[in-house]
Copies of this chain bind each other. A is one copy, B any other.
Amino acid sequence: MLTSSQQQLLRVISQSGPLSRTVLAASMGLSKAAMSGIARDLISLGVLHETETIYGQGRPSILLDLHPEGAFFVGISLLEDPAPMVLSDFNGNIVARQTMPRSRDPEIIAESIAEMLPRLLTEREDALRKLYGIGIALSGFVDEKQANCVQSTLLGWKDAPLASIVRQKTGIDTFIENDAKAVAVSEKLFGSTRDVQNFSVVSFDEGIGCAHFIGGNLYRGNHGGAGEIAHCTIEPNGSPCRCGKRGCLDTVASMKAIKEMAKAEGLACNSLDDLEAEASLGNAAAIRILHRAGNALGLAIAHLIQFNDPGMILITHVEGRFDGLFGTVMRQAAEANVLPRYAGQTPIRTQRVDGDVWARGAASIAAHNFLIGPTPN
């Protein structure tokens, strides 16, 4: 689709924001002459456009940026039923929205997508010509070609070639990805980790997901399982987990676990905020639960830091706030369990996200393939 130099240019801009041709040339190790042509081609493709003019000494420089309406992508989340389906522009903004029924049959999913696609695009007629890909987020393991779902408990799949079925039915390039990894990609492309080469995103929700970017690339792992921190043993000989072993992070620190612990303690709490409120009123059980969960998550994050030395840990959460007891204990535990010399060296950011995370993440998978190409690992 694009040459490797064109993709490199887009990659640099998506990491660093708008840049002039001269700066781009320098940072890509190319001559101004080469840059001139590459930029011209991308501009005439409609993907790039000139924005601000910067005045200094000499001829002013013209910043180049991705054209927000230069490319559109569809993102579908198979985590919910009905499945959200969004249209994203080149900035990751959602410009249209639909839902479709979720099925466990890949063929039916593909048909639903093909059927809903025109309706999604009615609001933005120009997007049809510039629709460069479909991304699908799901709970499960995905191969490195982002084509086959190797295994999904939720959907009951084993080696489901979903991407090629959808591609065939819609005629549009399609890529699938694990939910947590899709969120990490969207943060890298459109979010707060654009310029960070090495980071891990922890998605905190009913379950706990995690994905690593290493060397500027998503790292999927040898079986697609990199980042599966939910089932690391955090409380040896702790409570049994649905995975079969004991003391997994998931049994202590996920929202599901927190709610269950609250219920077991007889607390009428339906959200993290409820529980935080109880704790701040001095409820011992609430405090105990938040401490236990925060400590567990903090220890897991400390391990992440010790093992992988990322430049940032980003925790995305749909529900709740992270500035209460839970978040504080989590941070303290993370600091206390890394090499003291390291403590505080790795920023841990929390970020509240809306219900569109997964669909937006899915769309970013398609955008990533267009902008940068397939993920290498």
Q: Which residues of A contact B (CB under 8 A)?
A: 151, 197-198, 212, 214-215, 217, 219-229, 231-233, 236, 243-245, 299, 302-304, 306-311, 336-342, 345-346, 376-377
Contacts and interface: CB of A to CB of B under 8 A. Distances in A.
A197 to B, nearest CB: 7
A26 B168 CA distance: 28
A370 B340 CA distance: 36
Most chain B Cβ neighbours within 10 Å, of A229, A337, A340: A337
A309 B346 contact: no
Given A214-B219, A215-B217, A232-B302, A225 B336 contact: no
Contacts of A227: 307, 309
A1 B227 CA distance: 38
A231 B337 CA distance: 8
Given A214-B214, A311-B222, A377-B215, A340 B243 contact: yes
A45 to B, nearest CB: 25
Q: Is the interface of A mostly helix, strand, loop or mixed?
A: loop
A236 B292 CA distance: 13
A224 B228 CA distance: 23
B225 A342 contact: yes
A371 to B, nearest CB: 19
Contact of A245 (B220, B309, B340, B377): B340
A303 B225 CA distance: 12
Given A212-B308, A307-B232, A221 B198 contact: yes
A222 B337 contact: no
Given A215-B217, A222-B346, A243-B339, 6 more contacts: A212-B308, A232-B302, A232-B306, A232-B337, A304-B307, A307-B307
A310 B377 contact: no
A294 to B, nearest CB: 14
Contact of A339 (B215, B219, B231, B346): B231
